[in-house]
Chain A
Amino acid sequence: MPTDIGPPDYHTMLPPIIARNYGKWKYHEILQPGVLMHVAQGGDKLYSVRVGGARLVCTDRIREYCDIAEKFCDGYLRFTSRHNVEFLLDKKDNLEPLLQDLKQRGYPVGGTGHSITSIVHTQGWVHCHTPATDASGPVKAVMDELYDHFIAMKLPGKLRIALACCLNMCGAVHFSDISILGIHRLPPSLDNERVPKICEVPTTIAACPTLAIRPDPKTKGVQINEERCMYCGNCYTLCPALPLMDPEGDGISIWVGGKVSNARSGPAFSKLAIPFIPNHPPRWPEVVDAVKNIVECYAKGARKHERMGEWIGRIGWERFFEVTKIPFTDKHIDDFTLSYDTFRSTAQFKYTG
């Protein structure tokens, strides 16, 4: 078997219309929610139809995507950076039949412009060992509720939602308009019989952001100063004898106001809005309500083109907590410092000299 061959050459995967007009696009329009038209300098027109997906999909689902792409798109399709599927057409005549076909199959078409597109999310209880909540379940519950915002473009600006099931934050939660983040609230339970056997003690100690872990000379294991522990779970990532998952302790926190694009304001982190909501599977009703409330307050309050963080920046955080009726607590006040914020974390600057 060959090794180190890397990914297949993407040129072999491009629809001919894209290969022909590569780097020669002139402008684009959103024809309707979920449908983009890109016009090339030479006049070629490419139609992209964006479809929401579950991300966690089976091979037969992918084969169904293939069936659709073979029927309407000469066998070409792509996926987006937010796990949507895009069907790429060079024949306008195929557009209506494709949309009809997708409708019949129950696939949501949307996610363009000022909409809520798919939720970037993680593994959850489906496959990871450190989660404080599930990923696929809350995502499904939230998107069912916000479905109308996926298939329409009626918000003041783009609204990106992300979810991570623990604060390793595999994905996009530290810079999304609304982020759903699994958190623990209890320190690890310590098994010092096993620590010296299965863990490397120095790396476990070094894993703690708040220096809560010390060596324990008696057992050759570790001690945890519980008053310093903020339940991040990083020590468990390094040492299996320090589990901290707990059905009552674990739950979800909600963050708001992050963005990555440079348009108008520069990139920004999401900030804490709600410190804790318990896990209530299978539909997480309190989480769904909390997200919906924030979306509605934003939709009502923000000016055209304002992202969540820009809206909050204009009205101020004190007003944000007032209009959303979210209680403000001591948890919202940062007590972990980083000095790096004097660096220029944006691509905005002027050339000089």
Chain B
Amino acid sequence: MAQSETPLLDELEKGPWPSFVKDLKMAGQKKAMSRDLLRQLELSYKERIGHWKHGGIVGVKGYGGGVIGRYSDRPDLFPGVEHCHTMRINMPTGWFYTTKALRTICDIWDKYGSGMTNFHGSTGDIILLGTTTNNLQPCFDELSEKGFDMGGSGSALRTPSACVGPARCEWACYDSLDAINDITHTFQMQLHRPMWPYKFKIKCSACPNDCVAAIARADLSIIGTWRDNIQMDPGAVKEYAGKLDIQEEVVELCPTRCMSWDEKKKELKINNKECSRCMHCINLMPKALAPGKDKGATILIGGKAPILKGAMISWVLIPFLKMEKPYQPIKDLALKIWDWWDENGKMRERVGELIERVGMRVFLKEMGIKPIPQMIRTPRANPYFFWWPEEVPQKPKSA
């Protein structure tokens, strides 16, 4: 038997977890590009270093983003990956598919690309991994004929994504899928044509469990919540009492200690005024407890990864906003934020970093939003604060 060209990677075909090496080999049976992708990866495993050249600006007509250009730094050894660009295709909201739609994408990608994909990129897109510059336009043309459009990249609105929401979750406090789908369609211009200081991401989770991690992975994080009382079915609570130690697992883990449990009467009480809607009790007793009826979302701003000034988790901007079609208030807010950021942001400055630089007070004033204690964990501890000129009696100007 001939010796394998990829002894190191072959090791990763073993073991119980699905192996990407098997998939690379499967694609490699049809496509020279995937064969060379595997061979180049073997070299990286041997040398413990990557073999992709820096960047590369390629795309399709009419759009400024959506394609990540890639070139091998060893085209002499791996001619199949001399060009090896990624196309980001906007997934259907919630990542629901018919097999017909998936087969369509596969057929088009087999025709123009490497046959390798990511299902999905962390922002949410379908990642079509590896094609040549010449194939980008015809591939995109066929995809768009079949109803698929490019996702975002560069200094633009990136592909928005949502948790599974009302499609399959009893806790959804608004329609996260409809909201994201609507927002994505409304802002196609901002998504396809980069024109901002840097990237901007929007994510919708329909309750504070935050299953798309909106608070940490989006500049604008829209997290479902409610304003009235947790809905309770006392009979169902009693049923849980046998299976669950309600005192220890629910009441004592409530972060605001606003619940009480009467073991004799099997009665649970919630002081809803003190509840911070963390979801813990609802998570543990889904048959007995549910979010309230007056539902909406908390809007948070600023989430991002460490580059440049350190990682940020989004913070509260609007405690409660109704999320109803056509989502005008949130769209107006987004437009206002983008205008201000566009005007004031430095090159490659995320909106969270801009707010940190100029101060929340300036941002809130620009947005016309009133400061409230829900925005902070704690008031400032240093005395270096500013006054607006109109708040202070001005000294007469000397003549």
Considering the complex, give the chain A residue whose CB is closest to the CB of B27: A58
Residues of chain A from 191 to 217 with CB closer than 8 A to chain B in the complex: 203, 206-207, 209
Looking at B261-269, B307-315, B325-333, B388-396, the stretch in contact with chain A turns out to be: B307-315
A4 interfacial by beta-carbon distance below 8 Å: yes
Q: Which of A107, A207, A260, A340 contacts B215 (CB 8 A)?
A: A260
A129 interfacial by beta-carbon distance below 8 Å: yes
Contact B19 A140 (CB under 8 A): yes
- Tell me the complex Cα distance, A5–B63, Å: 12
- Tell me the complex Cα distance, A25–B63, Å: 40
Contact A260 B216 (CB under 8 A): yes
Minimum CB–CB distance from A110 to chain B (whole Å) comes to 11
Query: B168 to chain A: which residues have CB within 8 Å?
Result: 18, 25, 38, 46, 48
B86 interfacial by beta-carbon distance below 8 Å: yes
- Tell me the complex Cα distance, A9–B91, Å: 10
Q: Which of B70, B117, B189, B316 contacts A62 (CB 8 A)?
A: B117
Residues of chain B from 95 to 143 with CB closer than 8 A to chain A in the complex: 95-103, 105-106, 109-110, 115-120, 122, 129-130, 140-141
Contact A27 B27 (CB under 8 A): no
Considering the complex, give the chain A residue whose CB is closest to the CB of B6: A282
Q: Which of A234, A236, A264 contacts B280 (CB 8 A)?
A: A264
Query: B144 to chain A: which residues have CB within 8 Å?
Result: 1-3, 5
A218 interfacial by beta-carbon distance below 8 Å: no
- Tell me the complex Cα distance, A78–B208, Å: 22
Contact B374 A349 (CB under 8 A): yes
Looking at A170-178, A220-228, A322-330, the stretch in contact with chain B turns out to be: A170-178
A295 interfacial by beta-carbon distance below 8 Å: no
B165-185 vs A: 1/0 string, CB under 8 Å? 011111010010100010011
Q: Which of A6, A53, A60, A150 contacts B149 (CB 8 A)?
A: A6
B209 interfacial by beta-carbon distance below 8 Å: yes
A57 interfacial by beta-carbon distance below 8 Å: yes
Considering the complex, give the chain A residue whose CB is closest to the CB of B38: A126
Contact A23 B166 (CB under 8 A): yes
Contact A6 B129 (CB under 8 A): no
B47 interfacial by beta-carbon distance below 8 Å: yes
- Tell me the complex Cα distance, A350–B169, Å: 25
Q: Which of B18, B255, B316 contacts A53 (CB 8 A)?
A: B18
Minimum CB–CB distance from A90 to chain B (whole Å) comes to 12
Minimum CB–CB distance from B62 to chain A (whole Å) comes to 5
Given A1-B140, A59-B109, A59-B115, residue A175 in contact with residue B18 (CB < 8 A) = no
Secondary structure dominating the interface of A: loop
Contact A232 B307 (CB under 8 A): yes
Considering the complex, give the chain A residue whose CB is closest to the CB of B178: A10
Given A59-B117, A76-B96, A305-B249, residue A125 in contact with residue B308 (CB < 8 A) = no
B residues near A (Cβ < 8 Å) are 8-9, 11-12, 14-21, 23-24, 26-27, 34, 37, 41, 44-55, 62-63, 70, 84, 86, 90-103, 105-106, 109-110, 115-120, 122, 129-130, 140-141, 144-145, 147-149, 161, 163-164, 166-170, 172, 175, 177, 181, 184-185, 188-189, 192, 208-213, 215-217, 223, 225, 227, 249, 253-255, 273-274, 276-280, 283-284, 286-287, 298, 300, 302, 305-316, 319-320, 346-348, 352, 356, 360, 372-381
Contacts A/B (CB < 8 Å), 28 sampled: A3-B192, A4-B188, A18-B96, A54-B19, A55-B119, A56-B118, A76-B98, A76-B99, A79-B95, A108-B17, A126-B41, A170-B305, A172-B217, A175-B313, A209-B309, A240-B55, A247-B48, A269-B313, A279-B48, A281-B46, A305-B280, A342-B376, A342-B377, A342-B379, A347-B300, A348-B278, A351-B319, A352-B372
A residues near B (Cβ < 8 Å) are 1-10, 12-14, 18, 22-23, 25-29, 38, 46, 48, 52-63, 65-66, 69-70, 75-81, 83, 85, 106-108, 120, 122, 124-131, 134, 136-137, 140-141, 143-144, 147, 150, 167-172, 174-175, 203, 206-207, 209, 232, 234, 236-237, 240, 243, 245-247, 250, 260-269, 279, 281-283, 304-305, 336, 338-353
